[in-house]
Amino acid sequence: MTAIPQERRVVTAIPGPKSVELQARRLAAVAAGVGSTLPVFTARAGGGIIEDVDGNRLIDFGSGIAVTSVGASAEAVVRRASAQLADFTHTCFMVTPYEGYVEVCEQLAELTPGDHAKKSALFNSGAEAVENAVKIARAYTKRTAVVVFDHGYHGRTNLTMGMTAKNMPYKQGFGPFAPEVYRVPVAYGYRWPTGAENAGAEASAQAIDEISKQIGADNVAAIVIEPVLGEGGFIEPAKGFLPAIAQFAKDNGIVFVADEIQSGFCRTGQWFACEDEGIVPDLITTAKGIAGGLPLSAVTGRAEIMDAAHAGGLGGTYGGNPVACAGALGAIETMRELDLNGKAQRIEEVMKGRLAEMRSKLPNGDIIGDIRGRGAMIAIELVKSGTKDPAPEAAGALAKACHAEGVMVLTCGTYGNVLRFLPPLVIGEELLNEGLDVIEQAFGTL
Ligand SMILES: Cc1ncc(COP(=O)(O)O)c(C=O)c1O
Tell me the per-residue pLDDT of 97-147, one tens digit each, with 9 for 90 and over: 999 999 999 999 999 999 999 999 999 999 999 999 999 999 999 999 999
- The domain that holds 44 is classified in CATH as 3.90.1150.10
- In a domain, residue 1? The reply is no
Identify whether the C-beta of residue 264 lies closer than 8 Å to the C-beta of residue 271. Answer: yes
**Number of domains forming the structure of the chain:** 2
> Is there an atom of ligand 1 within 6 Å of 125 CB?
yes
> Is there an atom of ligand 1 within 6 Å of 130 CB?
yes
User: 337, 370, 391: which is the final residue of a domain?
Assistant: 337
> Is there an atom of ligand 1 within 6 Å of 326 CB?
no
Q: Which residues pair with 371 in a beta bridge?
A: 380
pLDDT for the residue numbered 3: 83
31 three-state secondary structure: coil
- In a domain, residue 48? The reply is yes
Helix axes 322-337 and 99-111, enclosed angle (nearest 10): 40
User: Which tens digits make up the pLDDT trace of 355-399?
Assistant: 999 999 999 999 999 999 999 999 999 999 999 999 999 999 999
Query: Which atom of ligand 1 lies closest to the CA of 287?
Result: 10
Q: Which residues pair with 299 in a beta bridge?
A: 121, 285
> Is there an atom of ligand 1 within 6 Å of 63 CB?
no
Query: Which atom of ligand 1 lies closest to the CA of 263?
Result: 1
- Which range of residues forms the domain containing residue 354? 17-60+339-443
Nearest CA to ligand 1 atom 8: 126
> Is there an atom of ligand 1 within 6 Å of 439 CB?
no
CA dihedral sign, ordered 133, 135, 138, 140: negative
pLDDT for the residue numbered 214: 98
Is residue 189 pLDDT above 60, yes or no?
Answer: yes
Mutate to test the pocket of ligand 1, among 156, 288, 412, 422 (most ligand atoms within 8 A of CB): 288
> Is there an atom of ligand 1 within 6 Å of 226 CB?
yes
Is residue 284 pLDDT above 60, yes or no?
Answer: yes
Sheet holding 181-184, edge to edge: 118-123, 297-302, 283-286, 255-259, 220-225, 145-149, 181-184
> Both 138 and 87 in a single domain?
yes
User: 279, 302, 337: which is the final residue of a domain?
Assistant: 337
- pLDDT confidence tier of residue 219, bands split at 50, 70 and 90: very high
Task: In whole angstroms, give the CA distance from residue 290 to residue 228.
Answer: 17
Closest CA to 423 of 381, 375, 382, 356: 375
> Is there an atom of ligand 1 within 6 Å of 234 CB?
no
Mean pLDDT (the chain, rounded): 98
Query: Rounded to a whole number, what is the distance in angstroms from the first to the last CA of the chain?
Result: 37
Rg, C-alpha atoms of the chain: 21
User: Which tens digits make up the pLDDT trace of 164-179?
Assistant: 999 999 999 999 999 9
Cα separations in angstroms, 410 against 151, 266, 296, 379, 393: 17, 20, 23, 10, 13
> Both 284 and 330 in a single domain?
yes
> Is there an atom of ligand 1 within 6 Å of 154 CB?
yes
Is residue 1 pLDDT above 70, yes or no?
Answer: no
- pLDDT confidence tier of residue 436, bands split at 50, 70 and 90: very high
Is residue 87 pLDDT above 90, yes or no?
Answer: yes
Query: Which atom of ligand 1 lies closest to the CA of 297?
Result: 10
